[in-house]
Structure formats: C-alpha cells, structure tokens
Amino acid sequence: MHYEAAMALGGTAVLLGATFVSLRGHFGVLGLAVAWLLYGLAELAISFGLLFTQVFPGNAISTSVQRPFLREMNKQSFVFGLCSACTLVYFYLDTIMLSKMGALGDVSRYTAAYNFVLALILLPQVLVDTLYPYLSRRFLGERRPIGRVVQTITRYFLLVTIPLGIGGTLLAAPLIRFEYGERYLTGGLGADRALAILVWDGCLVFFTYLYGQVLAVFGKQSRVTLIAAIGALLNIILNILLIPRFSLIGSASATVATEFVVLILLGFSLRSFSVFERKSFPVVQSAAGTLCMGIFLWEFGTRLPLIFSIAWAVAIYGMALALTGGLKKHSAAVVVKPDVS
C-alpha cells in the first residue's frame, strides 16, 4: 500500500506541476492534455522502478513467456476488468446519453452537480481500499470470520451517510451557488435539483463499494461482475425512458435507482456469509440526529453563509448522537487496523 501511495503522490506532483506550467504558459487544452499524459507516464515509471528495486530486487523477474501463467492471470483479471467496465458504464454513460438526448445546457448543469458526487465517492474508495488488505489477510490468511468487521464498518457508514444525504439535499442550492454561481440555478432543471438527487448516489456508493470488495475477498468476483452488468443494463434502460421526459432530473434519478438496485443485489449475495447476522445498525440514533439537523437546515440553511450552515449542522448532529447513544462503542465493534505494508 505504501508503494501505491508513493506512485500516486509522484504522479499527482507531476500533474500539478505540468498543469501549473500549462496555465502560466497559456497552452490551453493541449497543454492540459499533455499534463495528463505526463501524469500517466510518471506513475508508470515509478511503478516500474518500485517493482524492479523493491518488490523483485536483483532482476528476479523472468523474461520468458510462461503461457499457463499468463492464461490463468488473464482469466482472473478479465473478471475484474469486466466489472470495472460495467461500473464505468453506469457512472459515466448517463452524461453521454444526456448530451445526445437533451440540451447542451442540461449537460453542463448535470456535470456540475455530478462533480460533487465524484468528489464525495473518493472517501469510501480510500477507506475501503485501505481496509481491503486487512479483510483479505483476516479471512484468507488467518481463516477468521470478517462478518463482525463488516458490520462495524457498515455501522459507521450509516452514521455518516444518512445525515450526508439529507444535508446534501437541503444544501444543494447553496453548494451549487458557491461553486458555480447563480447561472446554474435555473428552476426545475437547475444543477441544484440534480445534486439533491445525485448526493444519494454518493451515499449508496459507500456500501456498494464495500460489499463488492467483501464479495471479492470471499472469491465471488464473478458475482460482483454479474451485478455490475445488471446495473449497467438497467441504467441504460432507465436513461432511455427518463431523459426524454425529465432531462437531467431523469438521468440523476436513473443513476440513484441503479445504485440502489446494485446495493440490494450485493446485500442479497452476502446473506449466506453471516455478514448481517446482528441487527445492531444505528438507524434510530442516526435518524434522530438527522431529523434535528434537517430541521435546522430547513429553517436556516439558505439564510446563513454556507460554511456556518455546515458547521452548525455537524455540531447539531454530533450532539444529537451523543444524547441518543449513537456514539457509544457497540459490543460487536472491533478495532480495525488496516494493513499498509
């Protein structure tokens, strides 16, 4: 993991430097394209350097083509690649379909709203990717169950996502206004309306990404790929049905509906692995805290400056959780020490 971090940091440094030079030199879109090319080349160079100096020192890698090994590796990796391709379909195809079936202004407003979601889903990706080595070692290496660990992670995700969804919905207009200005707030087809829906897609990704990785630990990659394919097909159908009538609102609804169906299918696939054997999720405490926070945002969210609204919402939710016992450590919780080696 720390090798991957070094690769990511090196690539990001090159990207930022190249982008800065491009902007200062007024090289335009071509300069930005070159910056991304240099970013990819930097990560490739760093990964090869680490591979040959740290992972396989002394040129221990054989240069001969081992066909049985390559055949098995391609077979295993194809499943993951196909899963990623299907996931990309229902993450990005909606924008393409909206551009073909709707107005150009709708595409820009939808993209503006979706940028918030793309930033949001970085959090579950980082968290789950960090925990994945721990879950793999615990289940495959130590032959110990991981059901209670997954329950604990789900518990904390619930404490975050329920208020995040409500808060994002109620603060959608101030967020769009702060980032893009008034021109993106155009009534029923404004970016704020799309963001109020799309924020729930970001919340659902917390769980779909986690459960997809857990199924991979259990060796059920093909099942995850099948579910991703179902999600991709469903997303295409929903976009075809909803975009002509509801434009970007229909596309946002199709995205959230697809993610919800994927979550249901993933949860159903995990039922035989004793991951949800205890009903210990803090739905009541989180709902009570979210209600208090939501009432405040409904009354004052659009009147106060955005930073104050967010700060007060977090404080109110935290106090409500403390009073209802939502922050107390549950007996089923475990201390998770992610592997960074």
Note whether residue 338 is domain-resident: no
User: pLDDT tens digits for 292-327?
Assistant: 999 999 999 888 899 999 999 999 999 988 888 776
Q: 138-161 burial, b if ≥16 CB within 10 A, otherwise e?
A: bbeeeeeebbbbbbbbbbebbbeb
Burial class (CB in 10 A: 0-12, 13-18, 19+), 194: buried
Note whether residue 138 is domain-resident: yes
What is residue 141's predicted lDDT score, i.e. its pLDDT?
Answer: 82
Q: Is the confidence at residue 333, as pLDDT, over 80?
A: no
Q: Is the confidence at residue 5, as pLDDT, over 90?
A: no
Q: Are residue 2 and residue 131 in the same domain, yes or no?
A: no
Q: Are residue 4 and residue 90 in the same domain, yes or no?
A: no
Q: Are residue 142 and residue 285 in the same domain, yes or no?
A: yes
**What is the extent of the structural domain holding 55?**
1-61
Q: Is the confidence at residue 330, as pLDDT, over 60?
A: no
Note whether residue 341 is domain-resident: no
Q: Are residue 54 and residue 73 in the same domain, yes or no?
A: no
Q: Are residue 136 and residue 257 in the same domain, yes or no?
A: yes
Q: What percent of the chain has pLDDT over 90?
A: 47
Residue with structure tokens 């949001």? 120
Note whether residue 331 is domain-resident: no
Domain stops at, among 61, 88, 105: 61
Q: Is the confidence at residue 340, as pLDDT, over 50?
A: no
What is the number of structural domains in the chain?
Answer: 2
DSSP H or E run through 176: helix 172-180
Q: Give the whole-angstrom CA distance, residue 172 versus residue 193.
A: 7
Q: Are residue 165 and residue 296 in the same domain, yes or no?
A: yes
Question: Cβ contacts of residue 67 below 8 Å, gap of 6+?
Answer: none
Q: Are residue 82 and residue 164 in the same domain, yes or no?
A: yes
The answer to whether 61 and 218 are in contact (CB under 8 A) is: no
- Cα angle: 256, vertex 134, 327; to 5 degrees: 65
Q: Residues 23-28: what's their mean pLDDT?
A: 89
Domain stops at, among 10, 37, 61: 61
Q: Are residue 258 and residue 297 in the same domain, yes or no?
A: yes
Task: Give pairs for 76-85: CB < 8 Å, separation 24+.
Answer: 76/221, 79/221, 79/222, 79/225, 80/221, 80/225, 82/225, 82/228, 82/229, 83/212, 83/221, 83/224, 83/225, 83/228
Note whether residue 335 is domain-resident: no
DSSP code of residue 186: -
Q: Are residue 103 and residue 215 in the same domain, yes or no?
A: yes
User: pLDDT tens digits for 146-193?
Assistant: 888 888 898 889 899 999 999 999 999 999 999 999 989 987 889 999
The answer to whether 229 and 86 are in contact (CB under 8 A) is: yes
Q: Is the confidence at residue 79, as pLDDT, over 50?
A: yes
Of 197, 175, 208, which is closest to residue 302 (Cα–Cα)?
175
What is residue 256's predicted lDDT score, i.e. its pLDDT?
Answer: 96
What is residue 328's predicted lDDT score, i.e. its pLDDT?
Answer: 66
Confidence of residue 338 (pLDDT cuts 50, 70, 90): very low
Q: How far is CA 211 from CA 27, 118, 151, 218, 236, in A?
A: 43, 19, 11, 11, 23
User: pLDDT tens digits for 86-122?
Assistant: 888 878 888 989 999 888 889 999 999 999 999 999 8
Confidence of residue 332 (pLDDT cuts 50, 70, 90): very low
Q: Which is more confidently placed, 53 or 235? A: 235
Q: Residues 225-252: what's their mean pLDDT?
A: 94
Note whether residue 314 is domain-resident: yes
Note whether residue 77 is domain-resident: yes
Q: Is the confidence at residue 132, as pLDDT, over 90?
A: no
Q: Are residue 108 and residue 53 in the same domain, yes or no?
A: no
Q: Are residue 20 and residue 89 in the same domain, yes or no?
A: no
Q: Residues 52-77: what's their mean pLDDT?
A: 65
Q: Which is more confidently placed, 188 or 63? A: 188
Note whether residue 289 is domain-resident: yes
Q: Is the confidence at residue 280, as pLDDT, over 70?
A: no
Highest-confidence segment of 84-88, 121-125, 194-198, 334-338: 194-198
Confidence of residue 19 (pLDDT cuts 50, 70, 90): very high
Q: Give the whole-angstrom CA distance, residue 269 versus residue 4.
A: 30
Domain stops at, among 10, 41, 61: 61
Q: Are residue 176 and residue 103 in the same domain, yes or no?
A: yes
